[in-house]
Amino acid sequence: MKNDRIIIFDTTLRDGEQCPGASMNLREKLEVARQLARLKVDVIEAGFPVISDGDFQSVQTIAREIKGPVIAGLARCTAKDIDAAAAAVKPAGKRARIHVFLATSKIHREFKLGKAQDEIVRLAVEGVARAKGYVDNVEFSPEDGSRTEPEFLVEVCKAVVAAGATTVNIPDTVGWAVPDQFGALIQRLHDSVPEFQSGKAVISVHCHNDLGLAVANSLAAVQAGARQIECTVNGIGERAGNTSLEEVVMALRTRGDFFTGFACGVNTREIVKASRLVSRMSGLVVQRNKAIVGENAFAHSAGIHQDGILKKRETYEIMDPQDVGWGQTELPLTKHSGRAAVAARLRHLGFKLSDADLNALFVRFKQVGDKKKFVYDDDLAALVEGMMTEVAETWSLDYLHVTSGNQTVPTATVRLKKMNGQKGETEYAQDAGIGDGPVDAALKAIDRLTGTTGKLMDYALRAVSQGKDALGEVTAKVDFGNGDLVTGKGASTDVIEASARAYLNAVNRHLGQRQAASKNGRQP
């Protein structure tokens, strides 16, 4: 029987997180993983365990706490990588997958690896066999598969399937492929490897968007025999990104007349929620005209379009916005709302908080409630997500006062508090700074107090909800001199305060990374 179910393999937490400035901490990754489980993706690639202690811990925690999807860990074809991946995904039990990869294209063989074809095949087989000793579910990826000689790619696929690979993923690593050519390649592999035809092994594709063709290439591959699509929420990832989960899923669903019989198990009503969560956790803003999840995706400004929509929605909308999670009713809270009401709303939004976290959030909720009439779902989500971004707070904001205007020098007075771990006491430090504007002045004061020197490389401010009293959410990307961008986030009804909180969050992350590097004997 022909298998037309498409497996959705989400790599937001691995390839998506590799996007510059998109790094997430453990709590953020775990919250994204919970949402991916609610989205009902089939596979979550939780990370690359061997690259850092943090990545190992993230994969292991997700494997232990997330139920439902298969949990995969990435590994190169080396014993160290595979052993680390096996240990990290072990808590997932029978839902564990090890995903091993090795470059196969001529340019990678010659200039990156310096290895001949027969050696590549040997290493691939050894890697798969080692992974198979740990788990039944093994995936192999010939890196830069779309630029690999087709006859050699067939040889590699046959060898790794014989060694025990249950999925063979063909990556378009550099976004070089075009749909007709890529579809023909997948068709050739499908026709050349008996296990792909019988269903004993699955062909997967992992497409990058350098030419804007990732979704088109993935869909062409499905028509040619691929039954797994690797993708990310919002299409985030290296360089121009990956195949967009929401686009490929809704293309299959909306154009079922063309993609006849194909189906996947994604709960599409969770798509918008997943998009917003990933955007906030990664600090990568979704463009307004992004398909499916952009703010303009279902907006109609032309009079002719509006008239048509009013008469019959299908005249100008090929999808129902509610099918992807737009337009859901929300019940705004107020400063008079109690802890139970806040907890119930959080459960509705899908957040899982400990009693300690709920207590801390309730304090912030009351602070916001005192400043605005209604606290909407997006406000509440921003507060929760702000907690997820927190690291061990070396410094926290205690007081902020700014003076500014077009006839005065912008000045900021900042008081920070610092917990003295040895004495168990709270210390306070206060200073003032001047700058080109109130935000610049506040950040310079923070630098003086914390002894850091950060260069603001990117700054984004968005209104979280509606109204003039909307909560402002700031995402700041800061370079502290080593070239690596550190992302900080902060939210407040006052945009100057939100900016200071975001910058201070980045400072704390930087100090935490420097301390961890020092303990491990690495250069900070």
Tokens for 213?
């063709």
Minimal CA–CA distance to 34: which of 61, 1, 3?
61
Contact present, 49 and 55 (Cβ < 8 Å): yes
CATH number of 7-282, picked from 3.20.20.100, 3.40.50.300, 3.20.20.70, 3.30.300.30 = 3.20.20.70
The token pair at 222 is 């499905």
Domain spans in the chain, listed from the N-terminal domain onward: 7-282, 339-388, 396-519
HEC per residue, 105-167: CHHHHHHHHCCCHHHHHHHHHHHHHHHHCCCCEEEEEEECHHHCCHHHHHHHHHHHHHHCCCE
- Cα torsion through 263, 267, 270, 276, rounded to 10: -40
Q: How far apart, in whole angstroms, are the C-alpha atoms of residue 138 and residue 126?
A: 12
Q: What is the pLDDT of residue 390?
A: 57
The Cα-based distances of 214 to 171, 211, 468 in angstroms read 11, 8, 39
No. of H helices and E strands in the chain? 17, 14
* Residues near 502 by beta carbon (within 8 Å), at least 6 away in sequence: 474, 475, 476, 488, 489, 490
As to burial, measured by CB atoms within 10 angstroms (0-12 exposed, 13-18 middle, 19+ buried), residue 187 is middle
The crossing angle, in degrees rounded to 10, of helices 245-254 and 214-224 is 50
Closest CA to 236 of 275, 273, 272, 204: 275
Alpha-carbon gap, residue 104 to 142, rounded angstroms: 5
As a whole number of angstroms, the distance between CA 486 and CA 21 comes to 7
Query: Running along the chain, 524 residues long, what does each successive block of 10 average in pLDDT?
Result: 83 90 85 96 98 94 98 98 98 98 97 96 98 98 98 98 98 98 98 96 98 98 98 96 98 95 95 92 89 84 55 76 77 83 84 87 88 83 75 84 93 90 76 95 96 92 81 90 84 93 91 73 45
pLDDT at position 328: 54
In this predicted structure, what is the pLDDT of residue 309? 53
Q: What angle do CA 373, 374, 378 make, to 5 degrees?
A: 145
pLDDT at residue 70, as a whole number:
98
Confirm whether pTM is higher than 0.95: no
pLDDT for 522 equals 45
DSSP at 5: B
Q: Phi, psi (5° rounding) for residue 349?
A: -80, -10
Question: CA-CA distance, 455 to 506, in Å (whole number)?
Answer: 11
- Which residues, other chains included, contact 63 with Cβ-Cβ below 8 Å and sequence gap of 6+? 46, 71, 73, 88, 89, 90, 91, 92, 96
- Write phi, then psi, for 380 (nearest 5 degrees): -65, -45
Name 51's Cβ contacts closer than 8 Å, sequence gap at least 6.
Answer: none
Using DSSP, state whether 403 is helix, strand or coil. strand
Name the residue with tokens 């902060």: 490
Give the Å distances, CA to CA, from 332 to 220, 329, 367, 374, 494.
44, 10, 16, 6, 20
Q: Which CATH architecture has domain 396-519?
A: 2-Layer Sandwich (3.30)
Contact (CB, 8 A) for 72 and 139: yes
Question: Which positions ≥6 away from 64 have C-beta within 8 Å?
Answer: 91, 92
